């Protein structure tokens, strides 16, 4: 909220809704990384396919020690490393690829997983997060088909299923349900969780890591049921907050309601 207020632009709802998952990835021990050595060869990699949700990634990375927290105040400023979509060319440590053109990030991540598994014979893992509205992109399903075909058990697909996108509810804009059945049909070990329940989040990631370690040949899809704008009364489950920042009064109320 503080970042978006200072920037006077950006996306509020999605980042708030998926914050618990990012806390698990970067601060809960799920992803192997070294903040002081971001190019460490043994690191796991994360690709934010839904690049517009980057405020929560930046916040998680700063809290994990990739860069100073003070830099969060530069979100979307001219020449900042914290652009409105993640940019590898901006030099921010820990960003694996530029992303934001919906449907492309997942394909890039699948390529990384293929390289690690089939060429390098590495035990590195690759995580991708897409929104559920992003599933309307055909390239998403081409990538999903490749993951299963090549037996990439080192790949974890996180789907933020908040049923909201910029123009309305998923079913109203372009119905992609049943998401669970689709993931199962595409060969994924499919896990549905409450994306705000930390125990369920960690259990799902533990299952993915076990599958990857044991070489099951089966990729994992974690469908996180979330609410856009989680924790803020006037934002929660309201698609109109997909791409809007708070004003000063709204930010004050939001910060008062959030458990910090």
Q: What is the pLDDT of residue 259?
A: 72
Write out the two tokens for 103: 């449907």
Q: At what angle do helices 138-149 and 105-114 cross, to 10 degrees?
A: 10
Of the options 3.50.30.60, 3.40.50.970, 3.40.50.300, 3.50.50.60, the CATH number for the domain spanning 13-228: 3.40.50.970
The three-class DSSP label of residue 160 is strand
DSSP string computed for 108-138: HHHHHHHIIIIIS-----EEEEEESGGGGSH
Confidence of residue 260 (pLDDT cuts 50, 70, 90): low
In which order are the strands placed within the sheet that holds 189-194? 45-48, 126-131, 155-161, 220-225, 189-194
* pLDDT for 83 beyond 80: yes
pLDDT tens for residues 146-192? 999 999 999 999 999 999 998 999 999 999 999 999 999 999 999 99
* pTM score over 0.85: yes
Fill in the DSSP letter of residue 165. Answer: E
Which stretch of DSSP H or E encloses residue 20?
Answer: helix 19-27
pLDDT tens for residues 182-239? 999 999 999 999 999 999 999 999 999 999 999 999 999 999 999 999 999 999 999 9
DSSP string computed for 184-242: HHTT-EEEEEETT-HHHHHHHHHHHHHHHHTT-S--EEEEEE--TTTT-TTTTT-GGGS
Q: What is the pLDDT of residue 171?
A: 93
Residue 98 CA: distances (Å) to CA of 54, 62, 88, 127, 197: 11, 18, 5, 15, 29
Phi, psi of 91 (to 5 degrees): 80, 15
Q: What is the pLDDT of residue 202?
A: 98
């Amino acid at each position: 909220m503080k970042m978006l207020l200072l920037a006077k632009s950006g996306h509020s709802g999605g980042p708030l809704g998926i914050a618990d998952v990012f806390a698990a990835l970067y601060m809960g021990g799920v992803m192997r990384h070294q903040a002081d050595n971001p190019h460490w060869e043994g690191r796991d990699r994360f690709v934010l396919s839904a690049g517009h949700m980057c405020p929560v990634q930046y916040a998680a990375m700063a809290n994990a020690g990739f860069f100073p927290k003070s830099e969060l105040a530069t979100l979307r400023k001219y020449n900042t490393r914290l652009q409105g979509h993640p940019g590898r060319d901006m030099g921010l440590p820990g960003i694996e690829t530029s992303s934001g053109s919906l449907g492309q990030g997942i394909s890039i991540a699948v390529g990384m997983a293929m390289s690690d598994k089939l060429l390098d014979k590495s035990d590195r893992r690759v995580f991708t997060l897409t929104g559920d509205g992003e599933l309307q992109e055909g390239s998403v399903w081409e990538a999903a088909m490749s993951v299963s075909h090549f037996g990439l058990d080192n790949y974890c697909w996180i789907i933020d299923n908040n049923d909201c996108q910029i123009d309305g509810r998923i079913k109203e804009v372009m119905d992609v349900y049943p998401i669970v059945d689709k993931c199962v049909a595409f060969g994924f070990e499919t896990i549905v969780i409450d994306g705000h329940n930390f125990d369920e989040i960690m259990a799902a990631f533990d299952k993915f890591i076990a599958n990857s370690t044991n070489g099951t040949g089966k990729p994992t899809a974690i469908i996180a049921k979330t609410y856009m704008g989680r924790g803020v009364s006037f934002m929660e489950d309201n698609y109109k907050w997909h791409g809007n920042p708070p004003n000063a009064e709204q930010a004050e109320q939001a910060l008062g309601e959030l458990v910090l």
